[in-house]
C-alpha cells in the first residue's frame, strides 16, 4: 500500500507539474477586446507571423480566448474570417474587458521593454520599403480590401513604377517591434498632400486607410508632422524609382531574372557596400513584390541613393526571402 500510495503521489505531482508547464504557455481567459487601431494579428506573437496579413478593424470588438501570462502583454482573440482564426494581438492595440472582472497588469519589465520600443524619436535608422505593385497585387492574398489592387488587376489602373509601402523608423535592439509610439495618433493630411502622394502610394486614390495604418504604426515614431513625413517619403520613392534599382525592374517587366544578376547590376552603380543595405521580398519566393533600403536616421533627402544607403546599417541578405530566379510581374491579370 505504501508503494501504491507513493506511486499515486508521484503521478499526481507529475500531472500538476505538466499542468503548470501548460499554463505558462498561455492562460485561458474570456471577455471582449475592442481594437483602437488596425494592428497586426499574429498567429505566433513570438515569431511575429501573420500568414494572411490579418489586421484588426478599429473600434471592432473581438472575443478574448487567452492571455500569454498573468501579467500579460499579449491577448489571444477570435477573428472568424482569418485563417487560422485564433490570433494574438498586443494589449496596447485595444482595451480588454474580462468576464471575471480580474484586472491584469503588465509587469514592470514588460513596461520597460515596451517603452524602449515605443518611444518617439528613439530609433537609430530607417527602412524605406518600396512595393512593386503588380507583383504584390497579383500574388498577395489581399482579400479584396485593397481597391488599388482591384483596379490594377482589372486593368483600370496602370502602375509601372515603384510605390511607397512605408518609411519605417527602425531600432536595432527592438528588431521588428519598434512602432506604435502614439496609439492615439491620427492622420490629417491636406488635400494637396494626398494628391501628391497618390501616384506613389495608390491606395490614396481611393481611401486613406493604408496611410492611416502606416502613420500610426511607423510615422508617429519620428518628429516630422504627417504631411512632411509622407511628402519626404514620396521624394525618396521617386529618387529610388529613377535610380538603377527602378531602371532594372522596369527593364525586366514580364521576365524571369536572377537575384544574382540584379545584385551585380546594382553593385556596378552603387558599390558593394551600399548594396549590402538593400534587400528584396517576394511572394511565394518567386514574384518580386518589394525592395527595402536601410538608410540613416539623419538622412538628407537631396543625397544620392548611394549616399542614402551608405548612411544606413547593414540588413538582411540582398535576396531576402526570394529564390535565385524571380519573376517581375506586369500590371493586370
Helix (H) or strand (E) holding 251: helix 244-251
Task: State the CATH number of the domain containing residue 85.
Answer: 2.30.30.40
So what's the pLDDT on residue 19?
36
Mean of pLDDT values over 246-251: 98
Q: Specify if 136 maps to a domain.
A: yes
Q: What is the largest CA-CA distance in the chain?
A: 86
So what's the pLDDT on residue 46?
80
Assess contact for 130 and 308: CB atoms under 8 A: no
The more confidently predicted of residues 70 and 86 is 86
Task: State the CATH number of the domain containing residue 159.
Answer: 3.90.730.10
Which burial class, exposed, middle or buried, applies to 27 when counting CB atoms under 10 A from its CB (0-12, 13-18, 19+)? middle
**Omega within 30 of 0 (cis) for the link into 324:** no
So what's the pLDDT on residue 326?
97
Shared-domain flag, residues 302 and 258: yes
Shared-domain flag, residues 85 and 222: no
Helix, strand, coil distribution of the chain in percent, nearest 5: 40, 20, 40
Assess contact for 278 and 266: CB atoms under 8 A: yes
Q: How many residues does the chain have?
A: 333
Q: Specify if 35 maps to a domain.
A: yes
Shared-domain flag, residues 53 and 89: yes
Shared-domain flag, residues 68 and 187: no
Shared-domain flag, residues 189 and 312: yes
Structural domains counted in the chain: 2
The band of 249, judged by pLDDT with boundaries at 50, 70 and 90, is: very high
Q: CA-based Rg of the chain, rounded to a whole angstrom?
A: 23
How high does pLDDT run on average in the chain? 86
| pLDDT tens, position by position, 106-159 | 444 444 444 589 999 999 999 999 999 999 998 887 777 899 999 998 889 999
| pLDDT tens, position by position, 19-73 | 333 334 689 899 999 887 778 899 988 877 888 888 888 778 999 999 988 888 8
So what's the pLDDT on residue 23?
36
Q: Specify if 117 maps to a domain.
A: no
So what's the pLDDT on residue 58?
76
Shared-domain flag, residues 93 and 131: no
Q: Specify if 168 maps to a domain.
A: yes
Shared-domain flag, residues 279 and 150: yes
Shared-domain flag, residues 62 and 189: no
CA distance 151 to 18: 54
Shared-domain flag, residues 37 and 140: no
- Tell me which residue of 318, 233, 238, 218 sits closest to 277, measured CA to CA: 318
CA distance 296 to 274: 12
- Tell me which residue of 27, 29, 77 sits closest to 57, measured CA to CA: 77
So what's the pLDDT on residue 2?
42
Shared-domain flag, residues 148 and 31: no
Task: Enter the DSSP assignment of 322.
Answer: -
179: left (phi over 0), alpha (psi -120 to 50) or beta: left
Mean of pLDDT values over 248-272: 97
CA distance 35 to 89: 10
Q: Specify if 261 maps to a domain.
A: yes
Shared-domain flag, residues 175 and 274: yes
Q: Specify if 57 maps to a domain.
A: yes
Shared-domain flag, residues 129 and 93: no
CA distance 55 to 161: 27
Look at residues 80, 98, 116 and tell me which one is the last residue of a structural domain.
98
Kindly report whether the global pTM for this prediction surpasses the value 0.75: no
Residue range of the domain that includes 49: 27-98
Produce one character per residue of 258-290: b if its CB has 16 or more CB atoms within 10 Å, e if not.
Answer: ebeebbebbbeebeeebbbbbbbbbbeeebbbb
| pLDDT tens, position by position, 164-200 | 999 999 999 998 889 999 988 999 999 999 999 999 9
Amino acid at each position: 500500500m505504501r508503494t501504491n500510495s507513493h506511486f499515486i503521489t508521484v503521478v499526481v505531482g507529475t500531472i500538476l507539474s505538466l499542468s503548470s508547464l501548460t499554463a505558462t504557455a498561455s492562460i485561458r481567459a474570456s471577455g471582449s477586446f475592442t481594437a483602437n487601431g488596425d494592428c497586426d494579428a499574429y498567429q505566433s506573437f513570438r515569431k511575429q507571423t501573420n500568414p494572411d496579413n490579418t489586421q484588426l478593424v478599429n473600434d471592432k470588438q473581438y472575443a478574448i480566448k487567452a492571455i500569454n501570462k498573468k501579467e500579460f502583454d499579449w491577448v489571444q482573440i477570435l477573428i472568424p474570417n482569418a485563417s487560422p482564426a485564433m490570433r494574438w494581438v498586443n494589449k496596447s492595440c485595444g482595451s480588454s474587458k474580462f468576464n471575471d472582472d480580474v484586472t491584469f497588469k503588465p509587469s514592470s519589465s514588460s513596461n520597460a521593454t515596451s517603452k524602449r520600443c515605443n518611444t518617439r524619436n528613439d530609433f537609430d535608422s530607417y527602412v524605406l520599403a518600396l512595393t512593386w505593385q503588380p507583383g504584390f497585387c497579383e500574388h498577395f492574398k489581399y482579400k479584396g480590401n485593397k481597391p488599388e489592387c482591384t483596379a490594377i488587376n482589372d486593368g483600370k489602373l496602370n502602375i509601372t513604377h515603384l510605390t511607397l509601402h512605408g518609411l519605417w523608423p527602425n531600432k536595432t535592439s527592438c528588431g521588428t517591434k519598434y512602432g506604435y509610439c502614439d496609439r492615439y495618433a491620427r492622420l490629417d493630411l491636406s488635400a494637396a498632400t494626398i494628391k501628391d502622394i497618390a501616384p506613389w502610394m495608390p491606395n490614396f486614390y481611393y481611401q486613406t486607410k493604408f496611410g492611416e495604418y502606416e502613420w500610426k504604426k511607423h510615422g508617429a515614431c519620428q518628429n516630422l508632422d504627417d504631411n512632411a513625413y509622407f511628402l519626404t517619403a514620396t521624394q525618396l520613392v521617386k529618387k529610388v524609382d529613377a535610380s538603377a534599382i527602378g531602371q532594372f525592374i522596369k527593364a525586366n517587366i514580364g521576365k524571369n531574372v536572377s537575384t544574382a544578376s540584379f545584385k551585380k547590376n546594382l553593385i556596378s552603380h552603387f558599390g558593394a557596400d551600399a548594396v549590402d543595405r538593400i534587400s528584396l521580398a517576394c511572394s511565394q519566393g518567386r514574384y518580386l513584390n518589394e525592395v527595402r533600403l536601410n538608410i540613416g536616421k539623419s538622412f538628407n533627402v537631396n543625397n544620392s541613393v548611394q549616399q542614402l544607403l551608405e548612411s544606413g546599417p547593414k540588413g538582411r541578405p540582398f535576396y531576402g526571402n526570394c529564390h535565385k530566379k524571380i519573376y517581375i510581374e506586369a500590371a493586370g491579370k
